[in-house]
Chains A and B, each alone.
Chain A
Amino acid sequence: QDDGRMLTFGLSANVGNLIYGPSRGAAQFIVNQQLHRGLVKFDENGTVVPALAESFEAVDTSTYRFTLRKGLVFHDGTPIDSATVKASLEYLARRETGAAIYAALSTLEAIETPDAHTVLVRLSKPNASLLDYLADPNAGISPPAALAPGAVNWIGAGPFRLKANDSGVSLTLVKADTYYDKDAVALDGVKFIFYPDSSARANALIAGDVDMVDFVGWEDFERIEATPKLVLDAVPGPFVYTLFNTGRAPFDNPKVRQAIAYAINRDNVVAAAFYGHGNPLNGMPMSPGNDRYDPAMGELWSYDPDKARALLAEAGVAKGMKISLLTSSTYSFFRDMALSMQADLKAVGIDAELNAPDWPTYTSAKNGGNYDLAVAGGAPSVTGPVYMQAYAVGAPASSFGSYGYDASEIVAHIQAGEAIAGDEEARAEYAKAVRIIGDQVPFLPLAQRSQAFAYTDRVKGFRNIPGFLSITGTGYMIEKTSIR
């Protein structure tokens, strides 16, 4: 009721201390995006646009040049120059930081600062997606004080600054006068109230306690749509997929993995896990906004139980084979997805027993190869095809991949694609990688879930960015948002 220009936001998780670098989930991304700003950011179409950097340029796929804006300062008035940026990025490149974008910066060779406004980033290997990584919510440039493990990171260069932190309850942010684009910011501030329970969050919106919520639970979609003056802003978001333990029979056999790819009814997965709010996937998901988007990647397999049975018979798998299906009870959609798969597997003669421990136990089991088949969820932070690498490479090298899978061939093609500057030629390389994936099935995407924000119709100028960026990019929209 202040002057009506304060946005009250029901956030889907508790945000504790902000720490520079590591990823702590979607809710923390949104807060980071208000307080911090990196060299670049995403716009409403999912394109990388300049932020602290006034302009940027890819010298080649392993060398990038950034030119900083003039007169940049943090909320506390500390100036930002090329040295600040260098220190920040070097900190993120350290292994001990555990940074969300460590994968991209691990190949950092050198950062040069020819002058106070120019930053030159050199990589030892080509990486066409570096800009995507630098637009990640965890890559905001931070002051020197934040560059230590465990150091708090509330002061940044973002459009809002922290006013009050009611630990565990809410965060109050007000517009920062130090922001380089402050005139474009319509809100006077944002108050984030934490609502970890999704139906409590929906209730708060319906009851008018908050103006906006993130991560609407799928079972609440209809309820919110049916409520007058509420807007449900849903887009296809992250995806869910299946992992195979390729270290042991029967999933060491690509034929069996293929059989699974044909055995699962994706429509049922969407219906059961997401209450019908999602898209079935027959291949690799991808954000259409990316320059290297290729619709052919999405057509690799389809639901065909007869073919699955044939493949299984070909692989010599006996009917009634028992396997264990790892999922987690922490997220109901994980469990529902597994239940739906279980029925499909049974239909092709595979008897899957569910193992549904809590999240950390699930993670350890997954990383340790303690499963036959596992349910997993993916929210890539880059939109380019390079994202597939992290999912193709097997655990333990990459925690997103199938246990024991050797993806060197796939990686080689993806890296080759990353090294090519031209989109068209690069696409050909990625297509090769995708063909191997279609054949080998190192991981099996099943559905893209609907990711929704919801808000009152007083909220204007906000837009949920479709695709993976719904999680990593949409938070940038708040500075463009206004409220009547």
Chain B
Amino acid sequence: MKRIILPLIAGILVAFAVAGPLLVPVDPLAQNILARFAPVGTPGHLLGTDNFGRDILARIATGAQVELLTALASTMIALSLGVSIGVTAAYSRGLTEDFLMRGIDVMLSIPPLILALLVVAVLGPSVPTLIGVLALLFTPGFARVAYGQTLSVRSRPFIQAAIIFGAPRRSIILGQILPNIVAPLLAQASLTIASAILVGSGLGYLGLGIRPPMPSWGGMVADGQRYLATHPMLMLIPGLFVVSAILTFSALGDTLRTLWDPREQGGR
């Protein structure tokens, strides 16, 4: 069952993300206050309308791009930053290690809210800022994982072999260590994408999420929550998309991890 449903959901999500506005050629910003809170199945508004009378399906479709872009981009940035920090710390040891890892701890001990506020203050609110904030929030997690993994990998004999055979530091890190710490990082990344969607909507409260009226799924959930008691669909529909995106990403992470394992690849 899982084998059919997950790719199906993934397909829908990707279709929306790639061609959403084309698939649903309704202006997601067009307000029609008289037609607000139209229920699901209203002709012309398949998934109903929101508190401004905007078409929910169109907003979901348009939001897909932004949502997936921010989640993926921030995760990628956090991944590369965190891995650079973690691997450098574990590989250099000594003062650099202390400095980097304690720095990571300091970052982790600052409440995310404050961290987010600071970044927005410096960069101003926009989608790139949101990506930056999320990346900053998730970097320490990746750094920690990369650090721990590198520590355990670097003592393995094939690293010693590389040293003996004259490998320069760069290719030890990139060619020997990195490929061997990818699996846990992938696991972390699939979790992070999920948090990125959640935290992204939470940051909307600070006015630094995706700038309205541009739709985003997380933002739609946050807005819809206000009408939970009277019009629950406003929250449930985007919520369903958030949940399925998260499930898809974690399944994707698992698949990638298996594919990465040479034991799962064919011989030649």
A contact set with B: CB distance below 8 Å: 199, 217, 219-220, 222-223, 267-268, 271-272, 275, 328-330, 332, 335-336, 339-340, 342-343, 353-358, 361
Minimum CB–CB distance for A133 against chain B, Å: 34
CB-defined contacts of B52 to chain A, threshold 8 Å: 272, 336, 339-340, 343
The answer, among A199, A267, A340, for a CB contact under 8 Å with B31, is A340
CB-defined contacts of B230 to chain A, threshold 8 Å: 219, 222-223
Decide if B29 touches A356 in the complex (CB within 8 Å).
no
Decide if A199 touches B212 in the complex (CB within 8 Å).
no
Given contacts A219-B226, A219-B227, A223-B229, contact A354 B31 (CB under 8 A): no
Decide if B36 touches A271 in the complex (CB within 8 Å).
yes
Decide if A339 touches B213 in the complex (CB within 8 Å).
yes
Give the secondary structure class of A's interface. Answer: helix
Contact with A along B200-213 (1 / 0, CB 8 A): 00001111100111
What is the size, in residues, of chain B's interface with A at 8 Å between Cβ atoms?
A: 24
Complex Cα distance, B213 from A343, in Å, reads: 10
Decide if B33 touches A340 in the complex (CB within 8 Å).
yes
Complex Cα distance, B207 from A339, in Å, reads: 14
Complex Cα distance, B36 from A355, in Å, reads: 24
Decide if B212 touches A354 in the complex (CB within 8 Å).
yes
Which chain A residue has the least Cβ–Cβ distance from B30? A343
Q: Say yes or no for B195: interface residue by CB 8 A criterion.
A: no
Minimum CB–CB distance for A339 against chain B, Å: 5
CB-defined contacts of B121 to chain A, threshold 8 Å: 361
Which chain B residue has the least Cβ–Cβ distance from A359? B207
> Tally of A-B residue pairs with Cβ under 8 A?
62
Complex Cα distance, B223 from A354, in Å, reads: 17
Decide if B204 touches A271 in the complex (CB within 8 Å).
no
Complex Cα distance, B205 from A102, in Å, reads: 33
Decide if B51 touches A272 in the complex (CB within 8 Å).
yes
Decide if B33 touches A336 in the complex (CB within 8 Å).
no
CB-defined contacts of B212 to chain A, threshold 8 Å: 335, 339, 354, 356
Contact with A along B113-128 (1 / 0, CB 8 A): 0000100110001000
List 27 interface pairs A-B (beta carbons < 8 Å), by A numbering: A217-B226, A219-B226, A219-B230, A223-B229, A267-B33, A272-B51, A328-B207, A329-B205, A329-B206, A329-B207, A330-B207, A332-B223, A332-B226, A339-B31, A340-B33, A342-B213, A343-B30, A343-B52, A354-B212, A354-B213, A356-B125, A356-B211, A356-B212, A357-B120, A357-B208, A358-B206, A361-B121
The answer, among A199, A220, A272, A356, for a CB contact under 8 Å with B33, is A272
Complex Cα distance, B33 from A272, in Å, reads: 7
Minimum CB–CB distance for B224 against chain A, Å: 11
Decide if B204 touches A329 in the complex (CB within 8 Å).
yes
CB-defined contacts of B51 to chain A, threshold 8 Å: 272, 275, 336
Which chain A residue has the least Cβ–Cβ distance from B226? A219
Minimum CB–CB distance for A232 against chain B, Å: 15
Residues of B26-41 at the interface with A, using a CB-CB cut-off of 8 Å, are: 29-31, 33, 36
Complex Cα distance, B226 from A219, in Å, reads: 7
Complex Cα distance, B226 from A223, in Å, reads: 12
Residues of B220-262 at the interface with A, using a CB-CB cut-off of 8 Å, are: 223, 226-227, 229-230
CB-defined contacts of B213 to chain A, threshold 8 Å: 339, 342, 354
Given contacts A329-B205, A336-B51, contact A357 B227 (CB under 8 A): no
Which of B29, B51, B211, B227 has the most chain A CB atoms closer than 10 A to its own CB?
B51
Which of B205, B207, B212 has the most chain A CB atoms closer than 10 A to its own CB?
B207
Given contacts A329-B207, A339-B213, A340-B52, contact A268 B227 (CB under 8 A): no
Which chain B residue has the least Cβ–Cβ distance from A275? B51
Residues of B63-114 at the interface with A, using a CB-CB cut-off of 8 Å, are: none
Given contacts A343-B31, A356-B212, 9 further A-B contacts (CB under 8 A): A219-B226, A268-B33, A328-B207, A329-B206, A339-B52, A340-B52, A354-B213, A355-B125, A358-B206
Decide if B31 touches A358 in the complex (CB within 8 Å).
no
Which of B30, B204, B212 has the most chain A CB atoms closer than 10 A to its own CB?
B212
Decide if A343 touches B29 in the complex (CB within 8 Å).
yes
Complex Cα distance, B234 from A275, in Å, reads: 15
Decide if B226 touches A358 in the complex (CB within 8 Å).
no
Complex Cα distance, B31 from A342, in Å, reads: 10
Minimum CB–CB distance for A277 against chain B, Å: 13
The answer, among A268, A343, A354, for a CB contact under 8 Å with B211, is A354
Decide if B226 touches A357 in the complex (CB within 8 Å).
no
Complex Cα distance, B231 from A223, in Å, reads: 11
CB-defined contacts of A330 to chain B, threshold 8 Å: 207
Complex Cα distance, B212 from A361, in Å, reads: 17
Complex Cα distance, B36 from A223, in Å, reads: 18
Decide if A358 touches B33 in the complex (CB within 8 Å).
no
Minimum CB–CB distance for B124 against chain A, Å: 9
Complex Cα distance, B32 from A267, in Å, reads: 12
Minimum CB–CB distance for A482 against chain B, Å: 31
Complex Cα distance, B29 from A343, in Å, reads: 8
Which chain B residue has the least Cβ–Cβ distance from A332? B226
Residues of B180-227 at the interface with A, using a CB-CB cut-off of 8 Å, are: 204-208, 211-213, 223, 226-227
Decide if B226 touches A356 in the complex (CB within 8 Å).
no
The 4 closest A-B pairs by CB, nearest first: A329-B207, A271-B33, A356-B207, A343-B31
